Amino acid sequence: MDASDLLERARSRAGDPADPLETLTAAIALGGELSTDADALLDLAVRQARQAGASWTAIGERFGFSKQAARKRFTPPFAHRQLANRRRKLDMACSFCRQPPGARVHMVHGEGGRICEQCVELAHEIVAGMAKRR
C-alpha cells in the first residue's frame, strides 16, 4: 500500500472530497489509525518473541537499540508501575530483615538504611546478652 492509495482512502472518508483540507483532516485521522496499528503489530511481534524465549538483548538488536530501551518500549506501563512500586517498597524495607513498611510496622530511618521495631528489639536483646556475659 503506497501513499497515493492511502490518500485516496483518506479522500473517500473526507466530508467534502473536493476540499483538500477536508482530505487532510481525514488523512491525519487515518495516519493516527495506521500508526496505532503499526504499534500494535510491533507489540504483538515482540510479545510472541518474548513468549518464545527471545531475550530483550536479542529483541533490542533487531530494532537497533539497547536491551533496556527495548524492555522499556515494549513492557506495558502497568508492569512498569508494578516494578517501580515493588522497587520503592523494597527500598523502604527494613535493612536487616527486609520487612516492608506498613501501617503496623514502625521503622527507624537512618542515613543509609532503616530498621524495623522487631529488629531493634532483637538487636537490644543481643546487645543486652553480650553485656551480661562480660
Q: Among 122, 117, 40, 30, which residue's Cα sits nearest to residue 74?
A: 40
Name which of residues 97 to 116 contact Zn ion (CB under 5 A). 97, 99, 116
Name which of residues 56 to 95 contact Zn ion (CB under 5 A). 94
How near is the Cβ of 93 to Zn ion at its closest, in Å?
A: 8
Number of residues that bind Zn ion (CB under 5 A): 6
Contact between 119 and Zn ion per CB under 5 A? yes
Of residues 72 and 109, the one with the C-beta less far from Zn ion = 109
Cβ neighbours of residue 95 under 8 Å, at least 6 residues apart? Answer: 112, 113, 114, 115
Q: Among 112, 90, 113, 110, which residue's Cα sits nearest to residue 101?
A: 90
Q: What does the alpha-carbon distance between residue 118 and residue 96 come to, in Å, rounded to a whole number?
A: 10
How near is the Cβ of 107 to Zn ion at its closest, in Å?
A: 8
Q: What does the alpha-carbon distance between residue 44 and residue 51 come to, in Å, rounded to a whole number?
A: 10
- Cell 527507624 found at: 108
Of residues 30 and 96, the one with the C-beta less far from Zn ion = 96
How near is the Cβ of 122 to Zn ion at its closest, in Å?
A: 8
Q: Which of 22, 30, 75, 96 binds Zn ion (CB under 5 A)?
A: 96
Residues near Zn ion, by CB under 5 A = 94, 96-97, 99, 116, 119
